[in-house]
Each structure stands twice: as C-alpha cells, then as structure tokens.
Structure 1
Amino acid sequence: MLREIGDGPGGGALSMEISLDEEYGIPGTRSTAVDETLRAQPKSKGPMDRIVTLEARQSTLNSAYKQEERKEVCRKIGRFFFSGALSFNIVNDPFWLPMVEGIAAYGVGFKHPSMHELRTWILKEEVGDINTMMEEHKKAWAEYGCTIMSDGWTDGKNRVLINFLVNSPAGTWFLKSIDASDSIENGTLLFKYLDDVVKEVGEEHVIQVITDNASNYKNAGVKLMEKRKKLWWTSCAAHCIDLMLEDISKMKVFEDTIRLAKQVVKFIYGHTWVLALMRSFTKNKEIIRPAITWFATSYLTLQSIYKQKQPFQAMFSSREWHNGPFVQHNKGIRAHSTILYDVNFWSRVAFCIKSVIPLVSVLREVDSEERPAMGFIYELMDVAK
C-alpha cells in the first residue's frame, strides 16, 4: 500500500507501508470498507484447494468402489450357502465372524485349507483345544461337584441314542453319546451305562444323576443309588410335566377336543388352497401344528386356534369358501361344521386351555437354560397349583 506522508509543512515524500493484514492475514490497519469490498469479490482457488477437491473426489470414488466390491463378495458367500443348502443361521454362529475377520486380516493371496488339512492337522489341533477346555471343567467338577444328565432321543435312522452331559457351575459339558437301540428297554443295561458314566466322571464328584421318568430309567436310578451311596437319582422335571399332560390328554373332554382340533389343522395344512385362504383371513398368522411327541404342543395348538376364532369363523362363512373347491369335500364339511356349528367346541377349547396352560408355562421355564435351581421350580409348581 502506497501512502503519502508529510515531512513537514510544504514538503512531502512517498513511502511504501506494508500492512500486516495484507501480508499475513492478521487484523491490522485495513479499513472496514476495504474488507467488505474484498469479501464481495470472488475468491480464487489456489493449488491447495485443488488438491483437497481432488482428494474428496477420490475418496467418494473409493467408497463407491468398496461398496460394489463388498456386494460382489457377499454374492459369492451367498452362492456358497445356496449351493450347499446351508442354513442362513450359520452367520450367527460364534465362530463365523472370527473366520471372516481372519481371512480379511490375512489379505490378498490367502490359500484356503484343503479337505486333507481339515481332516488331519486342523482337526487334531481343535481336539487338543477341546481337551484343554475339558480339563477346566474337570477342575470345577472336583471343586463344586456336578450333575450327570442323560438325554434319550431317536435320530432320522430310528436309532435310539443316549447323550450324557455333565453340568456344574462351569457350564454344561457334552461327555459322550451311545447307541442304545437294542438295550433301551433293558433296565440292567441302562444301569450299567449310568454306572460307567459315574465311574468315568468320578463318584466323589457326582451329586446327582438326572434321567427321564420312564420305568426303565427309574429302575436303573434306584439300583444306582443302592450301589453309589453318596449320589441321588432325580427324574427330569420337564419329562414329568410332559407325562402329566399326557395323562390329562386321556380324559374324555380333552381327548375329544384335541382330536377335533387336530382334524381341522390337518385339513387346513394338507390343502394349499385352504391354507392360502386361512392366511388371508388370519393376516398370515400360523397355527401351531401338533407334534408326535411333547403333549404340550397339542395345548399350544388349541391356544393358537382359540386366538384365531373370529378369523376362522369368518373364513368358513365367506363367499370364497362357499365358491371354493372344498365346500363339498368330506373333510371340509367336517371342519366347517366343527368351526361354525359345534356348540361345545369353542367352550371346550377354552376350558382345556385354562386347565393346562399353567402347567405348560412351568414346562417352558424348566425346559430352558435361563432359570436356576430347584427352589425356583418348586415355586412355579406352587403357583400353577
């Protein structure tokens, strides 16, 4: 900035003064008018501005590219699931995420394990890790004591298998499984199986043995207590309640009501047109279908039917039903008559539900792993009574 400064009266000289705000951007001597004028002028972009703009554009392009890249990877993972008909729930497995993160951390060039590696050194190392974990459980068995639990079930090949598990404050440990197809009805052999497991765990560590309440298991449990004086045999609470529900189901009013309900449900789910019609009236709400075992499901079926009483009545009274292909069908006529014209059906359904739902509620609690100790079960039974 050039400014004329006086050197005395009548004399003058030209001098150059550099204001601080122009050179360094520090507020100085520039007037407000000049500031307003400069702000009104369009700012020219320097080299740094262009660099920042290019970096922002590159970041946006990289983000879009990553999104497309992730999409392709996800499709390849999905294709693997679909080709092997794998359950989608596998992604919730606790070992899924560590596997994916491990592959990502390795980076480009990772070579997946071969089938030979999976069944040799990888399997051996995992077995070693499991044995190490088992040693920790054994320490808890020795310190706190433990409970041996047997769980019998039938697989898809109709083999009767018995799983043996050991429970302690450290958690539940799967010990082993045996094929008892030829000996499940033999109380003597069942006693031998239980006795061998007690010996394997250590009699001094076992507080109780829990089995089903069937007569063969009951006899084996009594023999076990006679031989092993320091432990107790206890029947499974869930199995006991299920047997109670089975006995209740044999009473005529329960038996007839459950039979009629099963006929209706079997008819609906056995014909796709009727099932689609039901879903349109119930707003896609399903009916719990009775299973072969676990008598509680029969009562849960009654409960779900009762909740859909009005949609069921509306469906069998609708124009769609009367114009449909099953209006003259024998099973359709019976289901239609049960839902609309059986004066006792709905009142008996309500009676059955009211009678057994307290027991079913107890069964739900004792059959889960979220509830502790026997005292809680006694309290639930008192409330149910």
Structure 2
Amino acid sequence: MTTDDDTKPLWQYVTKNERLNEGRGNISWQCNFCQENKKGSYTRVRAHLLKLSGFGIGICKKITHKDLAEMQKLEDEAKTRIARNAPKQVPLPPSRHIQTKSQSFGTGSGNMVGSYSNSYSTMEQKKRKGNVSALEKSFNLAIRDQVDSEIARMFCSSGLSFHLARNPHYVNAFSLVTNNALSGYITPEYNKLSTILLQKEKTNIERLLQSVKSTWSQKGVSIASDGWSDSQRRPLINFMEITEGGPMFLKAVDCSGETKDKYFIANLMKEVINEVGHENVIQIITDNAANCKGAGQIIESQFPSIVWTPCVVHTLNLALKNICAARNINSNQHVFAEFSWISEISNDVMFVKHFIMNHSMRLAMFNEFVSLKLLAVAETRFSSTIIILRRFKLIKGGLQTVVISNKWGCYREDDMVKARSVKKLVLNDIWWDKIDYILFFTTTIYDMIRDCDTDKPCLHLVYDIWDTMIEKVKVAIYKHEGKHPDESSSFYGVVHQILIDRWNKNNTPLHCLAHSLNPRYSKTS
C-alpha cells in the first residue's frame, strides 16, 4: 500500500502550515531552502523545487545543482513506483461484433485492452470481410458491445453493486452524453470529483433544502440526537431536524478524546439550537441515558420554550430489557424471581444459535433443511431478544428436522455433549411453549416499538397507544394464566409496574398536549 510519502516525496523539503478552505486540497507551506511562504497543492511544490515554469509559482533560487539532482531522482523513483503499483487492465473476451473501430479505444503495447481488441479486430476483419450487415453498421453494434464490456468491467473490478445500474443519475449521465453528441468528452477524475464537484453538489443540496428550512418558523422544529461509532470506531454524535416535511441531517460531531458528560452534550445541543434558531425549536429528543437527561434539563433551564423529550422507542426497549434480561441484584430480587425463566429461555436460544453458527458442518446441515437464516442481531438493536425468538418460532419445524436427521447423530467431530443438549432443547415442547408465551404477551410492546420507530408524526398518538398496549399485555397474561380480570397476578403486577415506571420517566407535557389536541379524542356536540 503506497502512502503520500511514497508518491509525493518532495513534501519533505517544505513545511506544511495549514489547509486552506478553498475546496481543492490546497495548503499553506514554507520552502525549507528559501524560507518563502507559498500556497498550493503538491503540483506547485514540485514546480517550485524542481524549477519548472508555467505552473503559476516562482522557482526556488536557493536550491543547488546537487539538491536539484537529488530531488529529481526521488521524483523519478516515485513515478516508477506509481506506475508499478497501478492497477493492471485485464481484457474481457470481446464480442463477435468487434471490428477495426475498436482500435479507437487504445493502441500501443502498453494498453492490453487496446492491443487485444486490435489483434482480434484484424482477425475478425479477415474472417468476416464483406459479411457485416447494414444494420450493424448503422447502429454501431460493435462499439455498443465494447461500451457494455467496459461498463461491466468497471462494475466487476471496483466491486460495485449491480443495483447502481438502476440509479437514475447513472442512467441520465449516459443519456446526456449520447443525446448531445459530446465528442471528446472525458469523465471527471478523482481530484475533480473529490473537490470541485463534491463542493458543487453540496451547494446544490443546500439550495434544495432551503424550501424545508423556510418552514421552520411556521411549523416548528424537533431536533433529534444520538451517539454512534463509525467504521473506525470514532465516537460520533449526530443531530437531525424533523419537521412536517420529514427528517433532515444537520451535522455529526467527532467526540474523540472528549468526556461525554451532560455539560459537553448540552453545549453541542446549544450550538445546534442557535444554528436553527431557538425560537423555531419545539423539543430536543435523545435517549434516556443519564448524561442525555442531564443535558436536556440544562437546555430546558436555558431555553424555557424548548422541551427535552426522551425517545419513546428507546424507553420501550429498556422496558423489554427489564423483562427479558432482568438483573440478579439485591434491589431487583422480586423482579428477577418473576422473570428469571425468561432469561433462561433467552440464554438457551442463544446457545442453540451459537452452536450451529460456530460449527461449519452443523451450519451446513441447518442450511440443507431450513430456508431461512439464523439472524445475527446486534445487542444495540431495539428488541433484539424478541427478534431472535420470533425467528426461532419461524424455523421451529426445520430445526427439529435437523436434529433428528441421521447426519446430526452421525457427525461426532465437535462437542457431542453440546450437540445432545441442543437436540434436547429443540425437541422439548415445554421449551417451545415458553417461547410462545414470551412472544404472546410481548407482541403488543414490540408492535408499539415498530409503530413509533418511523418518520411519520406519532407524538399525538403515544399517550393512547401506551395505555392500550398495557391493557393488551394484561389480557394476554391473564388469558394464559386463566384468571379473571378482577383477580390478581404477581407476574402481571411486575410487568405493569415496569411499564408504568418507564412511562412516568418518558412522559412529558408535550405528550399530554398533543393527545388533547388530537381531533380523534375531541367531544362532538
């Protein structure tokens, strides 16, 4: 893998100062020989040091012939290194339509595609002389096939998804070129795409979003914020605004090296609020973490017209976590006593899943009998336990077929004790009944998560949906236990208390106000 030092060796003869905000990657630098301050890209550094004219920069008069020869040697070695590491062009087999016209795509011994096409064209011309139809000539079928081959090679060599061919901008780009006969058109290179055109597209997007921003003062704005990590594991906090027209990304802040306490988060929130305009902001939405709650309280104290609202979906997910993964601590013994069997079922399901996924032969047996796949659900995903249980219920028949097959019993290369344990669980009807019961009474909670985890406005519905959800949970539990509504249930009592506690922590005046203003619940005269 080549680096900047390998391909641009003359950077070591200047001192970089700072990057200029010109959208072209230019920086300010100082020559180590003449001590003059210059600005520009590596092209100007090279011209200055190697005393090249015609690049819009003066040459260095302090460089000796010895220094010049040394730098020229480094530059030549870099060019050789770049050429050696450049991707090699591998030709695709040409189609039967390739004619001598394909020579226009490249000639010379250094161009494998061009030379291959040329030699093939010569042979084809000898074989098919006089056999080319008028239709092929009029529609340039040879060139069309060659273009198709180049496009296919681009997709394959770059690992691009074939769905890109459905992108309307991809289609429009080729349509514009062909319909306007842009002879000699050259596609934009890497530098132009990553600088000028990227900045131009950003400006275009900002122009298109002005129509959304113009509604902020009339419709009001909700700001949503959440933390996540990118592919490089950098901690980021993103901010989005939500209006009647839909969500719009505002910015993401890299929090590397920062302590994400309530004061730090509150300062980030204030910056975004001031950018949007505090008079336009109605609420700011975060998860229920202690630092986010503290930051929300700071915002409410400094901006009396803005309400901090905890995320409803995150609140419901925490309620499910309290039920499906109750903690065994002294202050939680009563809850753990009621829900410990749910944790055991969840652990058993994960044990079965991991045993199959971690043994290639067992996984091959599973894939032979089951069309659906075992999901790899991240722990950070909402209601991850319920998602896994729902998938197991769908593949119940297939799993049982796998463990009673001859292949399962005959294969003895892995842990046979665990294999027997998996078979015992999968064939246990009581175990499956418990999974059905968990899904039965948590379905309404899971459905509410899906209803609220959407871009559609639902603040005015949360109050009623939550109340209805609690009633449905009670009906499901009482039906399973065979009790009448006026009887007491210790299991439901704990579930009810968890849901009520979570609602009390999530409930804000906005929920009640939105519910009261909903025409569905207004009295008619």
- TM tier relative to shorter chain: 0.7 to 0.9
Distance, in Å, in 2 between the alignment partners of 1:94 and 1:148 is: 31
Distance, in Å, in 2 between the alignment partners of 1:362 and 1:89 is: 33
Q: Deviations over 1:150-202 (max 9, x none)?
A: 12112223222111111222332211110224445411111111111111111
SS at match of 2:305: coil
Residue 348 in structure 1 maps to residue 423 in structure 2: no
Residue 178 in structure 1 maps to residue 253 in structure 2: yes
Task: Identify if the C-alpha distance between structure 1 residues 255 and 96 changes in structure 2 by more than 3 Å, giving closer, same or farther.
Answer: farther
Task: Identify if the C-alpha distance between structure 1 residues 233 and 262 changes in structure 2 by more than 3 Å, giving closer, same or farther.
Answer: same
Q: Deviations over 1:110-131 (max 9, x none)?
A: 2111223223332232232123
SS at match of 2:215: helix
- Structure 2 gaps of 5+ residues are 1-132, 327-338, 471-525
SS at match of 1:305: helix
Q: Out of 414, 431, 443, which is 1:357 matched to?
A: 443
Q: CA deviation at 1:63?
A: 10
Q: Out of 349, 352, 363, which is 1:264 matched to?
A: 352
Task: Identify if the C-alpha distance between structure 1 residues 252 and 91 changes in structure 2 by more than 3 Å, giving closer, same or farther.
Answer: farther
SS at match of 1:167: strand
Q: Out of 104, 114, 118, which is 2:178 matched to?
A: 104
Alignment of 1:45-84 (within 5 A): 66=141, 72-84=146-158
Q: Which amino acid aligns with 2:352?
A: V
SS at match of 1:218: helix
Q: CA deviation at 1:87?
A: 3.3
Alignment of 1:21-170 (within 5 A): 66=141, 72-93=146-167, 95-107=169-181, 109-170=184-245
Distance, in Å, in 2 between the alignment partners of 1:214 and 1:63 is: 69
User: Residue 91 of structure 1 contacts residue 97 of structure 1 at CA under 8 Å; is this kept in 2?
Assistant: yes
Distance, in Å, in 2 between the alignment partners of 1:356 and 1:244 is: 10
Distance, in Å, in 2 between the alignment partners of 1:380 and 1:69 is: 62
- 2:389 aligned partner: 302
Q: CA deviation at 1:65?
A: 7.1
Distance, in Å, in 1 between the alignment partners of 2:385 and 2:452 is: 18
User: Residue 152 of structure 1 contacts residue 163 of structure 1 at CA under 8 Å; is this kept in 2?
Assistant: yes
Question: Which deviates the most, 220-229 or 180-189?
Answer: 180-189
Q: Out of 360, 366, 380, which is 1:278 matched to?
A: 366
Q: Out of 457, 464, 470, which is 1:372 matched to?
A: 457
Residue 292 in structure 1 maps to residue 366 in structure 2: no
- 2:55 aligned partner: none
SS at match of 1:344: helix
User: Residue 444 of structure 2 contacts residue 469 of structure 2 at CA under 8 Å; is this kept in 1?
Assistant: yes
Task: Identify if the C-alpha distance between structure 1 residues 142 and 92 changes in structure 2 by more than 3 Å, giving closer, same or farther.
Answer: farther
Q: Which amino acid aligns with 2:378?
A: A
User: Residue 326 of structure 1 contacts residue 332 of structure 1 at CA under 8 Å; is this kept in 2?
Assistant: no
Q: CA deviation at 1:146?
A: 0.9
Question: Which deviates the most, 163-172 or 328-337?
Answer: 328-337
Q: Out of 310, 316, 329, which is 1:235 matched to?
A: 310
SS at match of 1:292: coil
Distance, in Å, in 1 between the alignment partners of 2:320 and 2:197 is: 47
Q: Deviations over 1:48-102 (max 9, x none)?
A: xxxxxxxxx956x679975x86665444333222222233443444533333333
Q: Which amino acid aligns with 1:97?
A: V
User: Residue 452 of structure 2 contacts residue 458 of structure 2 at CA under 8 Å; is this kept in 1?
Assistant: no
Equivalent residues, number: 324
Q: Which amino acid aligns with 2:283?
A: Q
Distance, in Å, in 2 between the alignment partners of 1:176 and 1:97 is: 30
TM-score between the two structures when normalised by the length of structure 1: 0.76
User: Residue 375 of structure 2 contacts residue 391 of structure 2 at CA under 8 Å; is this kept in 1?
Assistant: yes
Q: Out of 460, 463, 466, which is 1:381 matched to?
A: 466
Distance, in Å, in 1 between the alignment partners of 2:243 and 2:454 is: 16
Distance, in Å, in 2 between the alignment partners of 1:381 and 1:104 is: 57
Task: Identify if the C-alpha distance between structure 1 residues 220 and 315 changes in structure 2 by more than 3 Å, giving closer, same or farther.
Answer: same
- 1:194 aligned partner: 269
Distance, in Å, in 1 between the alignment partners of 2:420 and 2:138 is: 62
Q: CA deviation at 1:292?
A: 2.3
Distance, in Å, in 2 between the alignment partners of 1:287 and 1:122 is: 43
Task: Identify if the C-alpha distance between structure 1 residues 234 and 96 changes in structure 2 by more than 3 Å, giving closer, same or farther.
Answer: farther
RMSD: 2.6
User: Residue 245 of structure 1 contacts residue 295 of structure 1 at CA under 8 Å; is this kept in 2?
Assistant: no
The percentage of aligned residue pairs carrying the same residue is 26
Q: CA deviation at 1:232?
A: 0.9
- 2:424 aligned partner: 337
Q: Which has the larger radius of gyration?
A: 1
